[in-house]
Structure 1
């Protein structure tokens, strides 16, 4: 295997490859684009950082390319979609900076608690003052860690070493994972209400953007300390500024901002606050982290050579196309079912079971299983999850995965059933099939249903009685939300009913609350499923 290195990469990583007789390495730095295009056709793998653009031209010229290895987290300089279409695997190193990020979060916290930045400036300014810089200890404090992934888990361990009581919130981490770390899993609101220190370690996505705002800060203890070394935008910066000014928040330490470099009026005023310690996104800036990312991508290249699973592939490698052609409609169905099911889960995942019944059970269903896992996990962790690494990610989160098969099925020629089990015995069941190639959900829990998933949906349970459908329709009409279709399931007259509405637009939270109150719903959830807009793809990148 011939490998070309086009950007500065730590030698410790390249040494792993140099020791393998199957690998031939050429380090060619500073190549102009035409120079690189002229020689890339000789190589199987390219190792880059941010200085090389891996675009369509380069991928087309790289006739032998099998892998693009990005020695870092970001892949903005790689055309991942086109690489996928060419059957080229793209790997990165999302966790090479895990320890650096965790240590930086602790550095920020300790710097704030002991007034390190202010005392440093004072002493260097020629002063000798001690009383103004009296600090606070971590020992005995209750610390809340929101996001218990690889970085959050390390921070929790370090907080415990400082003799903090640690509460953690992460709805996608198993109780076993928390138990192994020696922390207690609680809800978001319990973290807000009970913690003296709250540190954030989640990805930035639709679910976490502005996750900490005015309402959440109002729930917190007076004098709370906030730490954000994860992603800018998780904390609403205007709300943080107001809380610092009002002394609701005693102080904060921030490494990341919604705009970088920060230039807005709000950010400028926020950064100037006396009780805020700031750094310019330094979480990954250590010499060790640079070595780690080089080692990580080199290991991925060796894993590929040895036909071992790739932990950090960000796209889908080439599968047997005959199998994929047969599975493609079911991949789409599985992706949509899992996107639907995961939004109904409000407990920590413990186990996921994928059941296949009917003709499909005669085939190898493992692509469907890993596709389902990727759909369940992709929005929940701080890395790209796909069919290459989904099983490894689930294993790391302590989630048990099971696959069952039966060639017998009563009503359908093919049936896929997803069972998601969470903490406390909570369980969600979704069954689906294909009608003329289009996904249909035919069972929820023990209710027989029949509906085509849509981008915007509303699911609710209530006690069946006259007038309920009319109340729901009236509320939707009053708020200009059009109902495209409605499906009702129930076991008996005047028993519990389950209703699923397909809507032309999203349902605001206040409208959901109006429907809950009007129907006395025992469960209600607005669902957003972008993948249901188009029924042509599989949702897995194949």
Structure 2
């Protein structure tokens, strides 16, 4: 196997490959595009960091390329979709810098609490002052960790070592993980309301953008300390500046910014604020982290050579080719069911059970199970989850995954059921294929029968006359057309469940209007990418 290294990568990682007699490695740094294009066709693997753009022209020139190995977390410089189309595996190192990031968060916190940066400048300036730099102890304080993943979990452990009481908020982590870490899992509102120290460790998504804003800062305790070593934009920087100026927040320490390098007036004021400790996105910048990511991608290459499973492959499914003909019709069904049911879950995932009934159960359903698990988790975690790493991600999150089979068919010759359990709730969905088209035939304990569509609205309410009319009137007023409706109920005037297929999306305002008019116990708009 011929490997080309085009960016600075830690030698300790490359040594694993250089010791393998199957590998021929060339380190060629600083190549111009044209130079790289002219030679890339000779190589099976390219190892990069962020300095090399692996785009369509490069992939087209790489006629023998089998793998792109990104020695780091992000793959923004790799056209993953086109690599997939070319049959090129893309691997990265999503966990190599977790310890580095966790330690940096603690360094920021301690630097603020003990006035390290100010005292350092003062003493180096020739002054011997102690009283202005009186600090704060961590012992006995209540610390809130938002995001209990790889980094957040390590931060929680370190805070406990400093004798903090640690609360954590993460709706996508099983209760078992919090219990194993010795922390209490609570809501974001409780973190905001009771904690002396708040540190964020979530990805930046539509859900977490500006998660801590004016409202949340106003609800915090007087004198709170806020740390952000995760992603810029999770904490609203303008609101943070106001909270620092007002004294609501005693101090903050940021490593990340919504714009990097920072170039707005707000960011410049925030960075220059006397109550701020700041660093220029150094969370992953340790010698050890650079070695770790190099080692991780080198191990993936060796796994590939040994025909072993790849833990951090971003884009490859792993099917037994002999089973594809039998399993293929059910892959889309599993995708649709997963896409639907995960939108109904608002709590932590403790257990996921995949059940296969009927003729389907006589086959090895593992490929379908792994696909379903990947589809569910892709809505819950920062990293890309695929059929290679889905089980590993679930294990890291503390989620129990079970597969159950029964040859005893119920009302259908073949049926797939997904049951998701969390604290205090369980969601269940069953589906089958009618002439190759996915149909949902059961929700919770309601017998249903409908074809999933792109835009849907699911409701549960007390069954009484006039409710359907009210729903139709409200949607019609907002020019939302109902394409179809399916109703399920157990008894007259009991609880009813209705699912509406719509021609367009329902806004949050319309959802609340429908809820108020019907006294619905549950209203959820659904957007099914898989049903487009």
TM-score of the two chains, using structure 2 as the length reference: 0.94
- Which deviates more, 479-488 or 495-504? 479-488
Aligned to 1:489: 488
Q: Does 2:197 correspond to 1:197?
A: yes
Q: Distance in 2 between matches of 1:502 and 1:238?
A: 41
How far did residue 76 of structure 1 move?
1.9
Q: 1:404 to 1:516 in 2, by over 3 A?
A: same
**259-268 or 109-118: which moved more?**
259-268
Residues 490-505 of structure 1: matches in 2 within 5 Å? Answer: 490-505=489-504
Partner of 2:342: 342
Q: 1:134 to 1:480 in 2, by over 3 A?
A: farther
- Which residue is 2:518 aligned to? 519
Counterparts of 1:142-541 in structure 2, within 5 Å, are: 142-317=142-317, 319=319, 323-324=323-324, 326-424=326-424, 426-533=425-532
Is the Cα contact below 8 Å between 2:455 and 2:504 reproduced in 1? yes
Could you tell me how far apart the structure 2 residues matched to 1:323 and 1:71 are?
34
Contact 2:318 2:387 in 1 (8 A): no
Secondary structure of 2:72's partner?
coil
Instruction: Sort the Cα spacing of 1:139 and 1:46 in 2 relative to 1 into closer, same or farther, 3 A.
Output: same
Deviation (angstroms), 1:171: 1.7
Aligned-partner Cα distance in 1 for 2:516–2:215: 21
Q: Would you say the 8 A contact 1:87–1:317 is kept in 2?
A: no
Give the whole-Å Cα distance in 2 for the aligned partners of 1:280 and 1:369: 42
TM-superposed deviation, 1:145: 0.7
| Higher alpha-carbon deviation: 149-158 or 324-333 | 324-333
CA contact (8 A) 1:202 1:381 kept: no
User: How many residues were matched structurally?
Assistant: 532
Residue 231 of structure 1 contacts residue 257 of structure 1 at CA under 8 Å; is this kept in 2? yes
Q: Which sits farther off after the overlay, 121-130 or 67-76?
A: 121-130
Shift of 1:468: 1.8
Query: SS of the residue aligned with 1:349?
Result: coil
Q: Which range is displaced more, 171-180 or 511-520?
A: 511-520
Query: Matches of 2:342 and 2:467 in 1, distance apart?
Result: 27
C-alpha deviation, 1:74, in angstroms: 1.8
Check conservation: 1:98, 1:151, Cα contact below 8 A: yes
Runs of 5+ unmatched residues, structure 2: none
Segment drifting more, 116-125 vs 362-371: 116-125
Aligned to 1:540: none
Cα RMSD after superposing both structures: 2.1
DSSP-derived class of the 2:75 partner: coil
Establish whether residue 94 from structure 1 lines up as the match of residue 90 from structure 2: no
Indicate whether 1:25 and 2:25 are aligned: yes
For residues 311 and 182 of structure 1, the distance between their equivalents in structure 2, rounded to whole angstroms, comes to 28
Cα offset, 1:319, TM superposition:
4.2
Distance verdict in 2 for CA 1:115–1:484, change over 3 Å: farther
Please identify, of 467-476 and 395-404, the stretch whose mean Cα deviation from structure 2 is larger: 467-476
1:207-251 CA deviation, whole Å, 9 max, x = no partner? 212222233233322222211111112122232223223333222
- C-alpha distance in 2 between matches for 1:403 and 1:512: 35
Residue 138 (structure 2) pairs with residue 134 (structure 1): no
Map Cα deviations across residues 372-394 of structure 1 (whole Å, 9 max, x no partner): 11111113223111111001111
- CA change 1:8–1:298 in 2 (3 A) is same
Give how far 1:118 is off: 2.6
- SS for the counterpart of 1:225 is strand
1:299 positional shift:
1.0
Tell me the CA shift for residue 52 of structure 1. 2.3
Q: What's the offset of the Cα at 1:395?
A: 1.2
Offset from partner CA, 1:481-528 (integer Å, 9 cap, x none): 443333221111100111223334443334333333332222232333
Q: Secondary structure at the match of 1:448?
A: strand
Instruction: Give 1:537's aligned residue.
Output: none
Deviation by residue 1:403-428 (Cα, 9 ceiling, x = unmatched): 1223442333331110111124x211
Taking a change above 3 Å as real, the CA distance of residues 451 and 49 of structure 1, as seen in their structure-2 partners, is same
After TM superposition, the score normalised by the length of structure 1 is: 0.92
Cα distance in 1 for residues equivalent to 2:133 and 2:404: 62
Moved more, 428-437 or 241-250: 241-250
Per-residue deviation, 1:28: 2.5
**How far did 1:437 drift?**
2.9
